[in-house]
């Protein structure tokens, strides 16, 4: 099937009904190649309301103040093993929220891969963790894959003499991603 991108390809959603924005969530994720051969994956989450509201812990929360603001960093090896994990809660609805950062180091020694969400939930979720930081680990895993595979491809292109290895690596990834989306559909549709 030919790609359907082109001049007629939509670049936005349809016109919405008349509405008022009341909540904004922003998630930023970045992958870094470190000089020591490891990789840092960082993510940041913020939630804002578009109106002021009272908070027992924080007083009046204004629209320019994040209601939630968390940052995380995982350091991973080339085989997606977590070697370091750090989280900080900059803003939360309750005074106790930053305590959830204490369990984030429980991710050290876990490998990103099959069962990731279950492993994360067991390590940092529940009554000792933070729902928002736990949810953030889904996009973090995606960025980890994108960072490593993108870096592998970049290195192969730069070396110029490792195209066969890159092709084999690409084929292995294609097999691992079989039927994960329309682009990797095995039935060819």
* Cα of 41 vs its chain's centroid, Å: 8
Residue 56 within any structural domain of the chain: yes
Res 172: pLDDT: 65
Tokens of 184: 């990797």
Please check whether residue 81 is in contact with residue 48, taking contact to mean a CB–CB distance below 8 angstroms: no
Q: What pLDDT is stored for residue 8 in this prediction?
A: 81
Q: Which domain holds residue 169?
A: 23-180
Question: Would you report the helix, strand and coil content of the chain in percent, each value rounded to 5?
Answer: 35, 25, 40
Residue 98 lies in a domain: yes
Q: How far apart, in whole angstroms, are the C-alpha atoms of residue 69 and residue 80?
A: 26
What is the tally of helices (H) and strands (E) in the chain? 3, 6
Q: Is residue 1 part of a domain?
A: no
- pLDDT value of residue 59: 93
User: Which pLDDT does position 11 carry in this prediction?
Assistant: 87
In this structure, the number of other CB atoms found within 10 A of the CB of residue 89 comes to 20
Asked whether 69 and 42 are in contact (CB, 8 A), the reply is: no
Count of CA atoms in the C-beta half-sphere (13 A) of 90: 12
pLDDT at 186: 86
Rounded-to-integer distance, Cα 189 and Cα 183, Å: 8
Q: Please, what sign has the CA dihedral across residues 58, 64, 67, 68?
A: negative
pLDDT tens for residues 34-53?
999 999 999 999 999 999 99
C-beta of residue 43 within 8 angstroms of C-beta of residue 69: no
> Domain count of the chain?
1
CA-closest candidate to residue 25, choices 9, 3, 4, 43? 43
On whether residue 164 sits in a domain, the answer given is yes
Taking only the tens of pLDDT, the chain with its 189 residues reads: 566 777 788 889 999 999 999 999 999 999 999 999 999 999 999 999 999 999 998 999 999 999 999 999 999 999 999 999 999 999 999 999 999 999 999 999 999 999 999 999 999 999 999 999 999 999 999 999 999 999 988 888 888 755 566 566 666 666 777 877 887 888 865
Task: Please report the pLDDT score of residue 146 as a whole number.
Answer: 95
Tens of pLDDT, residue by residue over 15-28, are: 999 999 999 999 99
Give the pLDDT confidence score for residue 45 in this predicted structure.
98
What is the Cα–Cα distance from 83 to 111, expressed in whole angstroms? 9
Running DSSP on this structure, what letter comes out for residue 96?
Answer: T
**pLDDT at position 166:** 56
Q: How far apart are CA 32 and CA 77, in angstroms?
A: 12
């Amino acid at each position: 099937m030919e790609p359907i991108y082109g001049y007629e390809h939509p670049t936005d959603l349809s016109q919405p009904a008349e509405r008022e924005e009341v909540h904004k969530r922003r998630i930023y994720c970045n992958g870094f190649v470190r000089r020591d051969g490891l990789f840092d994956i960082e993510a940041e989450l913020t939630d804002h309301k578009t109106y002021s509201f009272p908070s027992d812990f924080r007083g009046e929360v204004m629209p320019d103040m994040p209601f939630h603001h968390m940052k995380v960093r995982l350091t991973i090896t080339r085989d997606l093993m977590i070697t370091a994990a750090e989280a900080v809660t900059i803003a939360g609805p309750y005074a106790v929220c930053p305590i959830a950062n204490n369990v984030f180091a429980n991710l050290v020694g876990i490998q990103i891969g099959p069962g990731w969400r279950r492993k994360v939930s067991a390590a940092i979720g529940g009554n000792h963790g933070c729902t928002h930081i736990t949810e953030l680990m889904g996009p973090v895993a995606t960025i980890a894959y994108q960072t490593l595979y993108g870096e592998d491809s970049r290195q192969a292109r730069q070396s110029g003499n490792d195209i066969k290895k890159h092709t084999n690596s690409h084929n292995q990834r294609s097999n691992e991603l079989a039927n994960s989306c329309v682009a990797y559909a095995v039935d060819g549709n």
